Chain A
Amino acid sequence: MTSPKTLTDRYVDAVLHRVPTHQRPDIERELRASIGDAVDDRISAGDDPADAEAAVLTELGDPVRLAAGYADRPLQLIGPAFYLDYTRLLIALLTVIVPAVAAAVGLTRGLSGDDALTVAGETLGAVVTTVVHIAFWTTLVFAVIERIPALRRARRRPWTPDSLPEPPSRRARYGELITLSVVLVLCTTFIVLSPVVSPETDANGKPIPIITPWWWESGVVYLFIVLVVAGLGFVFAKYYVRWSVPLAVAGSLVDMAAPILMLWLAANDRVLNPAFVQAIGWSPEAAGRVNTVLIVLAVVSIINTVLQGLIRARRG
């Protein structure tokens, strides 16, 4: 009876393989007895022994399912307790981080002078890699939580009506809308006028621009203005239109692009006009500090966009 292995042996092995070691001897004895009882029952009812064994095992079903029952293991990757948290976090991460990566890779590649096809290819590649990473790691974390009973029981605080999406509190957000619009318009005006308006003039009485002429030579200034106008558009869109995934993706793309562009420009010392720095008698270190301040501002702005996106998605 011991060799060759019977169907029952193979079935029991398949179950035991998937239950904790300390439970194995007990489960094995009980399972074998139960199978034996069921087979005997069928044989005494007139079944052929081989048929009886096969029928009993068929009735018991997939050994992996039975083992999951013994080990109290969920038969789902992410169950209903965590499903909503999972989808919320996943959407938040995707709608915030993917556009940021696309903007960063696209802009830096574009500015370093690669041709359009390379830029598009590199950006697309980075986007796909980011999506796959975010989806994989988020899913893995939740699947692990689902499988560790202590974590499963340490459920987050229960839902209360306080976490309902806020109705657009129009007055507060109207203030935000106006402030942002004014700031954006002032910045754009300053940039656009900077070639002709400056506190310093050269020997011929012509103004020395504060911002490096490289912006106009390379066309970066037009990109900047497009981003500012688009950003303004999304500020208004967020105010008047309901939150939706496409809007959130486009919004964070635009919100990220301007700071990233500024980051890149400041890091490559392409903000201040060297002639202007010289004219007002600053040392190169002072100009460097201006760049540092701009970099810090850009990073703060990027982090702020990410946090806002996460909060918005958690409530959504």
Chain B
Amino acid sequence: MLDDELLSVHLQEIRRGTVVLACLLILKQPNYGYALLDQLGRSGFAVDANTLYPLLRRLEKQGLLTSDWNTEESRPRKFYRTSDEGVTLADTLTGAWDELHTAFRTLKGES
């Protein structure tokens, strides 16, 4: 039986980076921080709020997301949306993911 701590370290390693791709894909429909956190959790991409919120700003700074303040509701919220550049990156990353998937299948098929 695998040691829990070891297991979580390896799981964390393999999940690193997937959150960025998940955000770029989800945010093709504009959304705000907390709703995105909720949606990521429900889709199986467990991420902490204190990781996600700074990440969104970093992606915005890199030009992969754009943002707009929605002040129509009682609580003003910052809505993020994947930019054209972000969409291109998401396509590239999806391609890379598919290649990895194929590579793993081949590996397992051969062994």
Contacts and interface: CB of A to CB of B under 8 A. Distances in A.
A69 B33 contact: no
Contact of A70 (B33, B35, B54, B69): B54
A69 B53 contact: yes
B72 interface: no
B53 A34 contact: yes
Contacts of B38: 41
A66 B34 contact: no
A38 B49 CA distance: 10
A61 interface: yes
A60 B78 contact: no
Given A66-B54, A70-B57, A72-B58, A34 B49 contact: yes
Contacts of B32: 33-34, 37
B34 A60 contact: no
B35 to A, nearest CB: 7
A29 B53 contact: no
Nearest to B73: A33
B51 interface: yes
A69 B34 contact: no
B5 interface: no
B3 interface: no
A33 B54 contact: no
B50 to A, nearest CB: 5
A170 B16 CA distance: 49
Residue among B37, B53, B76 with the highest chain A CB neighbour number at 10 A: B53
Interface string A104-135: 00000000000000000000000000000000
A30 B50 contact: no
Contacts of B35: 37
Nearest to B33: A34
B57 A33 contact: no
B75 A59 contact: no
Nearest to A61: B50
Interface residues of B, number: 20
A31 interface: yes
B48 interface: yes
A7 B57 CA distance: 24
**B-side binding surface: helix, strand, loop or mixed?**
helix
A247 B104 CA distance: 51
B28 interface: no
Contact of B78 (A29, A41, A70): A29
Contact of A36 (B37, B54, B75): B75
B67 to A, nearest CB: 9
B53 A31 contact: yes
Contacts of A38: 34, 49
Residue among A69, A70, A72 with the highest chain B CB neighbour number at 10 A: A69
Contacts of A312: none
A280 to B, nearest CB: 79
Contact of A59 (B49, B57, B77): B49
A270 interface: no
Residue among B33, B50, B75, B78 with the highest chain A CB neighbour number at 10 A: B50
Interface string A23-63: 00011011101101110010000000000000000011100
A37 B51 contact: no
A138 to B, nearest CB: 30
A1 to B, nearest CB: 14
A88 interface: no
9 contacts: A31-B53, A34-B34, A34-B53, A36-B75, A37-B33, A37-B77, A60-B50, A61-B48, A72-B54
Interface of A: 26-27, 29-31, 33-34, 36-38, 41, 59-61, 65-66, 69-70, 72
Which 3 pairs from chain A and chain B are nearest by CB?
A69-B54, A37-B34, A30-B78
